[in-house]
Structure 1
Amino acid sequence: MGIIIVLIQFIVTALSQTNNSIDCNKYFYKFGTTESPLVFSGDVVYIQESQQVQINAKYTDVLFEDPIYFGFIEEDGKPPETTCLKLAVHRLDNTPQIIQSLSIITSNNIINQWRHYSFKLPLPKLNNQDVSTKNQKIRAYNGSYSINFESTQQRDFKYVFIFNFIITVDSQTELLIDTKFQTQIEINQSLIILPVSKLLWCADLACETHLNESPFLKLNDLFAIKQVIVDSQISNQIIENIKVEIIGKSLYRKEKPMNLNNKTPGQVIIQLKVPIYWKNVSIKVTSAISGKPFIYGFENTIDTSFNSLDQSCVDGTQIKSVDSELRWCSDITCQKILEQTPSLHINDFVYIQQLVNCSACQNYFLTHTEVWFANGGLNKKTNLVEIINNTKGQVNMKLKIDVVWNKVSIKVTSFLSETSDQDEDEGSNLLDSLQATLEIECTKPEGKEVCATCEEQCNINGYSDDTCGFCNSYGFLTFLNMILLFALTI
């Protein structure tokens, strides 16, 4: 049998003030006091078929029949203008995080005036451990989650409902054996002060003085920013769990700081290195107060631009489109560059090198290379037979001519990347794309040194360029010519 243990924590934070249209306190009063808190109860259901557990929680709504103040959240069927709370589910590991796109199912019991909240969690998302006994093999799943009712405005009230449950499951048959459920309630009415902070530009890496605006930052420059807690009541706290993100148009990066100094309470100095060149980026810093619940986290954003070492490579917000060239090679090593375009026939193997022009781009590898044959109605991606991109600033490729066509454009697209990994997910270390084109007269049929006719294109490709008619018409014309020839011989 297996054991599933999950810790669920309901955190309700609310507002003592009321807005102009409704009295939010009527919602908050439902949670009771420290001496007599609102009682949540619940259970857990194991769903073997879908490998999920369903968490069910309920409470008695003292304003169940009130036309305005029934329930807590919009999912209860409330219109937004009369709602003061929102609900989110958090996974409470070392770094608490919101579970995105989680469906919350609500239901009611009119007789008992209960309101129910349910959601499902997949078993693979829970921590698990195999346990063996003399008679059975079991698997223990465990996790820690919270359902947070948060005010849509400032928060100064917290209600915590904790419950542990155990599901006993046979690990071989995955059949349910038994369930157990335990609850615990905590309530804290003390004022929760949400930290207010800001980001500052530093004049040097030690950040002894500050700047009023962003310095001019170039690729590979070292620079520093400082995050400071503004609230005097908590400015003596240590900042930890610092995360840095760089966000821009078509850009998202998680950045690892070169150095962090959070020894001084109420501030952290973050040293970074300009990783790319990109116009109009935002540096976002998220942090938390040491030893405090995750609701004491905060974030700040500061704007700047990362400039290229070679300004000729930059146009507008990104890299110029004309920043690489294509060259014909004698083999895959491209040690010998061909001065003239080779005569190309279908099924020929050819070698091409894409080479970066601007100096700043040469600090990156070229990955995720694609080759397309285009022009005259053709837009065909061809498979690369071999590719070598372990030298920064260039990529060598071997490809097979798989189409007969006139006036062909060979278009090559690659991405700048900090690594040469071709399997890397786009959006991780990929920066921007580079494109280059080779124009050739035609790709010819095998054994011929002249460009293909429309009929030859149809016979080999099954289709032809825009200057030709439909391929089926050529078969009809051949048939018609045979009839005319036969008629003339009669």
Structure 2
Amino acid sequence: MKLIIIGLCLLILVTSQRISINDQNCNKYLQKFGTANNPDGTGATKIAFTGDVAFITNSTSVKVKLRYSDVDLFNDPTYFGLVQEDGKKAETTCLDLKLWKFTSNTYSDPVQVTDLPITNENNNQKQWRYYSFTIPGDQLGSKLVVTQNSAQFIYKGYFAIAYYAAGTDQVQYTFYFEFQVTVDKASGASVDTAFKPLSQSSTLGCTPSASCNTKADTVLKWCTDLTCTKFSTPDLHLNDQFVLLQQVTTLGMDYYLVGTEVWYTGNGLNKKAIIISINNSKKGQVIIQLKAEIAWTGVTIKATSTLSTTQGRRILVQTTFDTVSGETEEITCIKAEGADTCPTCQQEKNANGFYSDNCKGDVEEEDDEVKHPSSNGFTLFGFFTLLLFAII
């Protein structure tokens, strides 16, 4: 009996052991974080972390899905994935995964998230692995940062997943990401979502235990025309067409830019832009033609693209890598059509269907004038009519 108990104890001890971070077998995991094509360590990463965020159907809950490429060892029975959250046994891993949230994009106030279970999925064809967690609708306000305009709540999330040497606080790799979900105030219905991953190069040296000074991988320039040989910030009005150049600035990222998205942001605004045309024929840049769809004060335009070895979509092998982003400096405003000054609150409402939360009172006053546009006119007319009868 004693021998059986001793044997069981030894079995438990052996099976609960983890691979050391210094073990050569652990390198099989750590090498997955390496760069894709450049031996000097610059450029895109093989793991190509990205993700998306979406409302769950018929619900106000939000599902966040993170994705990475496991192309080298996807089908390996032992060294697939990275951590236990990938469906692995503890004794085959050397890394632990932790989820962190923050209150701003300085990532300076980490709080470990332990009450949102992480689930895993796989895509066998594309050799992708996923982590997902769900934020219940009634926790959006406590888990995320809230801004608003007159018609919408905009919930912003600042998160990171970090890989640690098993059983320690030694960070090996951290993936930072931001997302936004927009909800209609009146109905509670979902309006829009946006996800922004931060590349490894843009967060180089950052760890959850210290603030992170991120560095954009691209710049956004205002072009004077579609050739993008000259640059100047335009005086934009609603429905004006304009051109932006997104250009890579990080060393070693000699790729095509694909899957481009553009967003209008700032002062309670988060609206996805409709792109008229894209020209990504030259590596390291994409020319984006757009039409100003808003009238707003205090606007920053942001763009994200994915690094790719081809101009088109991935077919059989890994061709897409990190997502890169950039933004313009804040412009004073996008004016209403034909206007010489920044939009009034009423002009914002007319153009967008909503207006900045900073000027609610002004709009209500203007709305009252719109609802009763001739009240002063009728009063004046009545006064002159009575005066005329008195004279007669």
The higher-RCO structure (CA 8 Å, 6+ apart) is 2
Range into which the TM-score falls when normalised by the shorter chain: 0.3 to 0.5
Give the number of the structure whose residues are more often strand, by fraction: 1
- TM-score (norm. length: structure 2): 0.46
- TM-score (norm. length: structure 1): 0.38
Larger Rg: 1
